[in-house]
Amino acid sequence: MEIKPLLPPVTVNGVTLDPGRIADEAQNHPAPHGKPGHAWKSAARALAVRELLLQQAKAAKLDADPTEIAPGQWETEDEAMIRQLLDQTLTPAAADETEMRAIYDAHPERFCAPSLFEAAHILFPAAPDDKEARALARKVAVDVLTQVTADPRRFAGLALKHSACPSKSNGGVLGQLSSGDTVPEFEATLASMEEGQFSLCESRYGIHIIRLDARANGAILPFETVLPQLAEAHDKAAWLRASRDYVDGLVSAADISGIDLKP
């Protein structure tokens, strides 16, 4: 019988992490195929950092003041102490409007209102993991696509006959669509099409024949409109950088064994 080596105990400034907690936490860390130890290491790192932050919060004599993070859902005392510690300790770089303006001016095309589409489709259902069903759905879809390309007037009738979408009773018409109204695969296909064009699209639901009836490309938004969005993105990135630097400093000064936390 093969004897598996025991995992080393993980200690943070003399405090040994409970192996059971690491095992439980590992369930929240997906592991690449063939690397079962990856989840354990990720979990051990996460709990070691958590322990470091809690030690700092206790040294600062913080009293936990949990807040409601969602209706009926409150922070734990440990989560509250870590949040309070970071709120008191971190000083992220403030957003600078000149810098935001430079980002906007470099690529204004990135800041457009959502494009609008009017489209119809015929859905041939097939589960993503059913290769045989998807191959059959694609074969039927290609045949139907040939028919509607030859005679677009048949689209509504073929939608009623073949489509698994409730829109079939309306000739497959989906009405006006905007960003986020459909799955990303469908939306990407729409964005690549010209008005009046038919196209095949493969999504998590199966194979679609899409007909694009009209499109209105979103206009570039003025800087004043996107400034709050830019500032929010900057603030999130700045907070992440500041927290990473703070944790790196704690790690450098800590006595940690059993797991490598060095940046």
> Is 57 found in the same domain as 120?
no
Residue 235 belongs to some domain of the structure:
yes
The mean of the pLDDT values for the chain is 92
Label residue 263 by pLDDT band (50, 70, 90).
low
> Is 159 found in the same domain as 196?
yes
> Residue 4: its pLDDT value, please?
46
Q: How many CA atoms lie within 13 Å of 88's alpha carbon, on the beta-carbon side?
A: 13
> Is 244 found in the same domain as 154?
no
Which two three-digit tokens encode residue 91?
């000083």
Label residue 37 by pLDDT band (50, 70, 90).
confident
> For a pLDDT cut of 70, what percent of the chain falls above it?
97
Amino acid at 205: Y
> Is 242 found in the same domain as 186?
no
Residue 262 belongs to some domain of the structure:
no
CB contact set of 164 (below 8 Å; sequence gap of 6+): 123, 124, 125, 205, 206
153-194: pLDDT as tens digits: 999 999 999 999 999 999 999 999 998 899 999 999 999 999
Name the β-bridge partners of 124. Answer: 207
Residue 25 belongs to some domain of the structure:
yes
CB contact set of 59 (below 8 Å; sequence gap of 6+): none
Containing 252, the helix (H) or strand (E) segment is helix 223-253
Reference 213, options 200, 195, 228, 198; nearest CA is 195
Residue 143, CA distances (Å) to 33, 61, 136, 162 in order: 38, 71, 11, 12
> Residue 257: its pLDDT value, please?
94
> Is 234 found in the same domain as 212?
no
Residue 139 belongs to some domain of the structure:
yes
Chain centroid to Cα 193, Å, comes to 26
Residue-range definition of the domain harbouring residue 62 = 11-93+230-257
CATH number at residue 196: 3.10.50.40
111-169: pLDDT as tens digits: 999 899 999 999 999 999 999 999 999 999 999 999 999 999 999 999 999 999 999 99
Phi-psi region of 61 (alpha: psi -120 to 50; beta: other; left: phi over 0): left
List the helix and strand counts (H, then E) for the chain.
8, 9
> Residue 5: its pLDDT value, please?
45
Residue 223 belongs to some domain of the structure:
no
> Is 240 found in the same domain as 189?
no
> Is 143 found in the same domain as 209?
yes
Residue 30 belongs to some domain of the structure:
yes
- When divided into structural domains, the chain yields a total of 2
Q: From CA 9, how far away is CA 16, in angstroms rounded?
A: 7
Amino acid at 130: D
> Is 210 found in the same domain as 122?
yes
Residue 41 belongs to some domain of the structure:
yes
Residue 237 belongs to some domain of the structure:
yes
